[in-house]
Each structure stands twice: as structure tokens, then as C-alpha cells.
Amino acid sequence: MQAYRDNPFEPNQSSSDLNEYYQTSRSPSNAGRSQAGFNNIPLRPTAASGSGTYTPLGANQPFSAESTDNLASQNPFGTPPPSRQGMAAPGGYSDLNSVNHVGSSEPKLGAYTPGSRWMEPQPPKGKRKMWIIMGTIVGLIGIAVIAIAVGIVVSHNKKNNNNLSSSVSGVSSNSTVQQTDPGDPSKFTKDPNFHQAFWGMAYTPVGSQTPDCGNSLAAVIQDIQIMSQLTTRIRLYGADCNQSALVLEAIKQTKVNMKVWLGNYVIATDNNAAYNRQRDTIKQAIQTYGTDNIGGITVGNEFVLNFLTNGNQDPNSAQGDQAAAILVPDIQDTRAMLQSLGVSIPVGNSDAGSYFNNKILEAVDYGMANVHPWFADGVTVDASAAWTADFFQNQDVDLANTLPNRPQMYIAETGWPTKSSDAAHANSLGGSPASVAGLQTFLDTFVCQANANGTQYFFFEFADEDWKDKQFGGVEGWWGLFNQDRTLKNGIKIPNCQSP
């Protein structure tokens, strides 16, 4: 069976098979692990220290070269702002309201000033008419050239900045969100069938994969409107395509009670290019929106799982320590960036449930474990909730408690797919099918019970992801509670309990 992947950058990279990463028969290498049952913010960054190369950015610099619009001024449900809409950068043109069109130094009509052109002989009317016509033609040609140039620039910016657009053109017309005030995203009709039952929700805005970056503020606002009725916490996987700023701006405009765990998806083979790029956009988002709605910054997702090769399943092997040697400096650099801003935000790491390297966990404030009963040998859907709780406690919580820093542990992902794109992957390793009925069983047996037990988890996931289905096939794109068009899947009933 194809391994579950969250990696949008390296789809063909070989890694350990997830069919085996929940094998509980192998002895874990972690010492002490139990095997028993269960809006613009005036911040002034300073030079940051750390092993990475970090250059502080100005507080008012754009998020990246590809996106420079001011998210805080956008409201896709209201009237577009009258100025600087779609401009490449603030200050790219003069403020017309401040131009003095009749300068005080211009001589008055009827008064003689030595050297004034008002009293110079005028050209014959015929020649003057010809010059007027020629000047008009030249002017029209100039205007046309400028218009074409502006059109090219705007078109280029629109392509690169469509994720920041205030247009709702990319939003599905059959959205289930009913706006009670089209000009105010905070006013929308709540669905009586939705309950804030989930401790947290895993979320990736549609169109957040480079290089296309097809996400938009309008779409993210609708996602936040729905998710705010289900949870008060969400987690992201990466920061490309300005998804950090989009989510924080959507939370601001909808005025919902929501915290987001931002993500930095680190790639081992790109000389830290992806990490540096995402770190800087996260920094800009913090400078713009502050920290009130940020629960943490997760550096790396399934990094060790992806790094291990040739069947190696030991995260604390020499190869696992090589992964740590790459990731720990990035974690330290993220802390240095936050220190340069004078803010305190927890920094963590996410990986497959039995692939945490001790050196990485010792460097973070929290760990996020992907715990999927779908990939566990012999686990049916009826036993999936109990298995998830046992595995998380034994493999992750117990491990964290043996470390000197005792990092907080979360379940980063858990859920059940509703279909498979091919017959070969239609059943779990325990023999239960991917189905809506299976997802409902897991919802009914896990969500409220986990809340009562104090388990902190992010349910996987908000909505189906079409790009994963196209890229990976199998069950990869079909884990959502909702279809990609934001309609709740037919047959799904949200548990009726309140998350902590």
C-alpha cells in the first residue's frame, strides 16, 4: 500500500512504509518508553542569532516578492478600497489627492512678468492646430503604451497574488455559508447541526501549493466561518502562498474565537530554501497580526519519517540523528526569529507517531503525532478509537515524559477516509473499508471520549483535498468531514459535545 504523504514538494521520494510505522511488535529505541495499555504591530526586530542565516526584515515590508497586497485592508464581501487596489507596492505612484494642480508659482492671467511666455508671439493658428493634432496623437499613443504596460504588470501580479485577491471569483457558488451582512464577514448564519465538538482541526487552504498558489482570502474566510462552528483551534502544515496571513486575516475579519498553529514545512534536500522562505512569511504575519491568535509554530512535518531510507524504522538511529542535525538548527533559528521580535510563541515539531527523534523532541516545546488507525495492522474501524488512544499514550506521551523538557504532546492527525480512488487501497490494514459509515463510527467513538479524557488532538481533516488525490491516489484525498466545495458529506453527523 502506498504510504500516506503530506509532502507537496517531494512526492516521489522514497521513505519508510507507513504500512509498517504503526507496527507495535518492534521494540522502540526510545529509552523509558512504556509498553503498557493507554494590525500592523509596531515591533522592531533586531539581529537574530542562531545557526541559520537570518536577516531581519522591516516591519512594513511585503510578505514576499510574490505577494505585496495589504491583507488587512481587504474585505471580499464589501466594497474594494478606493486606492492602491492591485498595486505592486505601496508608494508606487503619487497620491493624487495631494497634488497641487494649479501651482502658486504660475503667473496670473493679465499680469506681466518679465520673461513670461504669456506675452510671447503666438504661432499661426494653422500651425497651432497642426501641433495640437500631432500632440493629441502622440498623447494617445503614450496612453496606450502605458495602459498596455500597466495591464501586463497587473496581469503578472494577479497571477502571482491571486491568493491575496479580495475577489470571490474563486469561491464555489454552492458554499453552505449564508452571509447575513454581505459587507461584514463576522455576520453569518450558524448551522444548527454543527457543534464545537473538536479539540482542533487539521486544515490546508485550497490552492496553497507552490508554484500555483491559487488560494484566496474570500475562500479562507468561508472556511473559517465553517470551522469556527466546529472547533476553536486549527493547525497548518506550511506557510507558502501566504496561508499564515490569509488565515489570521480571516480570523480577524470573522471575529471568531480561533487559534492557529502555524507550520513551516522543511525539506531536507533544498539547502534550507523552503524553511527560510516560510520563516520570513511567518515573521511578517506575526508583525502584522500579533500573537493573540497563534498557538504555536510547528517546524517540520514527518521530517524524520521522510528522511529515513532503506527500511530504517528507528528514529534514533544514526540516520535519524542526521535528520535531527538538519532540523534542530531550524528550530533554534525559529526561536531566534521570535526573540528578535520580542514575542513568545511555543515552537514544536510534527511527525509520524513512532518516528520522533529524541534530540528533536528535546529541542521543542511541543510535539504533534500523526496517529492513524487506518494504517495499523489488524485494527478495525470499531477498535480504531481505543487503539488511537492507547498508541498515543504509549508511543508519544510516555516518551515525552522521559525527556528533561517534557514537551506537550498533541495528536496532529487522526481520522478515517471515506473512499479510495482505486480498489487496491479501499480497505484499511485491519480490513475495514474507506467509507462515510467508517468515518461516522470513528467520530462517534473517538471525539467526545477524547475530549472527556483530556486528549488534545487535531482531527484530520476539514475537507477533501483534490490535489492529493490527483498526485497520490488511493485514500489520500478523501479524509475530509466536508467535500472540497464545503458541503458536509452526506451521511455525516457532527458529534454533539463541547470540546474543552
Residues identified as active-site: 302, 413
Residues 6+ apart with CB under 8 A from 54: 48, 276, 279, 333, 336, 337, 340
* DSSP of 11-46: TT-----TTTTT-SSSPPSSTT---S----------
- CA–CA distance from 381 to each of 142, 197, 477, 497 (Å)? 69, 20, 19, 21
Cα separation of 184 and 223, whole Å? 15
Provide the residue count of the chain. Answer: 500
Q: Scanning the structure block, which residue is given the C-alpha cell 471520549? A: 449
Amino acid symbol at 342:
G
Q: Single out the residue of 192, 197, 249, 241 nearest to residue 223, CA to CA.
A: 249
If you compute the radius of gyration of the chain from its CA atoms, what whole number of angstroms results? 28
Phi and psi at 368, nearest 5°, equal -120, 120
Angle, nearest 10°, between helix axes 273-289 and 243-254? Answer: 20
Q: Single out the residue of 20, 22, 16 nearest to residue 306, CA to CA.
A: 16
Cα separation of 196 and 479, whole Å? 19
Amino acid symbol at 19:
N
Amino acid symbol at 440:
Q
Cα separation of 351 and 324, whole Å? 12
Q: Scanning the structure block, which residue is given the C-alpha cell 483535498? A: 465
Cα separation of 146 and 30, whole Å? 66
Phi and psi at 269, nearest 5°, equal -110, 15
Cα separation of 422 and 466, whole Å? 15
Pairing of strands 259-264, 233-235: parallel
Classify the phi-psi angles of 168: left when phi > 0, otherwise alpha if psi is within -120 to 50, otherwise beta: alpha
Q: Scanning the structure block, which residue is given the C-alpha cell 483551534? A: 233
Cα separation of 227 and 195, whole Å? 10
Cell matching residue 160:
502571482
Residue pair 415/479 in contact by the 8 Å Cβ criterion: yes
